[in-house]
Chains A and B, each alone.
Chain A
Amino acid sequence: MTDNDLTPVEQTDRQHDRRLILIIGFLLSLAALYFVKTFLLSEPVVYNDITQHFKYGSIGSEPVNGIPYWIWKVLPEMFPEKLPGSGYASLGFIYEPGKDLPIGISKRRLTVDRVGLNCAVCHTGTVRESASSPPRIVLGMPANTVQLQNYVRFLTDCAADGRFTADNVVRQIETHIHLNFIDRLIYRQAVWLTREGLLQRKQLLAFMDTRPDWGPGRVDTFNPYKATQFNFPMQDDPTVGTTDLPSIWNQKPRDGMHLHWDGDNTSLAERDKSAALGAGVTPVSIDLRSITRIEDWIRNVLQPPAYPYPVNAALAAKGAVIYKEQCSHCHAFEGTDVGQVTALSEINTDPSRLNSFTYELAANMNTLFAGYPYRFSHFQKTTGYANVPLDGVWLRGPYLHNGSVPSLRDLLDPPESRPKVFYRGCNILDREKGGFVSDMPEENGNKYFRYDTTLPGNGNGGHLYGTRLAPADKEALVEYLKTL
Chain B
Amino acid sequence: MSSSQTSGGKSKRRFVAGLLVIVGVLAFGVWYKFFRVVTVKYDSVEEEFKYGSIGTESPTGLPYWIWIVLPRMFPDKLPGPGGYVALGASWEAGHELPIGFSKMTIGFERVGMNCAGCHTTSVRTNPNDPPKFYLGGPTSRFRAQDYARFLFACAHDPRFNSDDMMNAIGYSYKLSWIDSLLYRYILIPQTRRALLKSEKVDYYWMPERPDWGPGRTDMNPFQRQVLKLPDDHTIGSTDMMPIWKERTHEGMFHHSDGLNTTLVESVRSAALAAGATKDSINIAGLDRIQAWLLDLPSPKYPYAINAESAARGQHIFEAQCASCHAPGGARLGNVIPVTEVGTDRHRVDHWPQSSADAFNHYAQNYPWAFHHFRSSNGYVTYPLDGLWLRGPYLHNGSVPSLADLLKPVADRPTIFYRGYDLFDQQNVGFVSAGPAAQQEGFRYDTSVPGNGNQGHVYGTDLAPESKRDLLEYLKTL
Contacts and interface: CB of A to CB of B under 8 A. Distances in A.
Q: Do A and B originate from a single complex?
A: yes
A3 B4 CA distance: 12
B228 interface: no
Contact of B130 (A282, A377, A381): A381
A226 B81 contact: yes
Nearest to B127: A355
A37 B234 CA distance: 64
Q: Which of A351, A363, A383 has the most CB of B within 10 A?
A: A363
Contact of A230 (B7, B72, B76, B170): B72
A380 B91 CA distance: 10
Interface string B64-91: 0100100111011000111111100101
B39 interface: no
A382 B72 CA distance: 24
Interface string A346-384: 000001001100111111101111111001011111110
B86 A360 contact: yes
Nearest to B73: A231
B150 to A, nearest CB: 14
A358 B72 CA distance: 17
A363 B82 contact: yes
B129 interface: yes
B6 interface: yes
Interface in A365-423: 366-372, 375, 377-383
Contact of B72 (A3, A231, A236, A355): A231
B172 A359 contact: no
A35 B81 CA distance: 41
Nearest to A376: B94
B86 A3 contact: no
A320 B30 CA distance: 70
Given A226-B81, A230-B71, A234-B81, A380 B173 contact: no
Contacts of A283: 171-173
Q: Give the interface size bracket for A toward B.
A: 35 or more
Contacts of B439: 236
B7 A363 contact: no
A216 B75 CA distance: 32
B85 A371 contact: no
Contacts of B86: 360
A275 interface: no
B61 interface: no
B94 A380 contact: yes
B95 interface: yes
B13 interface: no
Contacts of A231: 71-73, 75
A359 B73 CA distance: 20
Contacts of B10: 4
Nearest to B11: A4
Given A4-B10, A64-B171, A362-B93, A383 B128 contact: yes
Contact of B82 (A284, A358, A379, A383): A358
B41 interface: no
Contacts of B128: 351, 354-355, 383
A458 B129 CA distance: 22
Interface in B78-125: 80-86, 89, 91, 93-96, 98
Contacts of A284: 170-174
A371 B80 CA distance: 26
B306 interface: no
Interface of A: 3-4, 64, 226, 229-234, 236-237, 282-284, 351, 354-355, 358-364, 366-372, 375, 377-383
Given A230-B71, A380-B94, 15 more contacts: A4-B7, A230-B75, A231-B75, A233-B75, A284-B170, A359-B85, A361-B82, A363-B84, A364-B83, A366-B95, A372-B173, A377-B95, A379-B93, A383-B128, A383-B130
Which 4 A-B pairs have CB atoms at the shortest separation, nearest pair first?
A360-B82, A363-B91, A232-B81, A381-B130
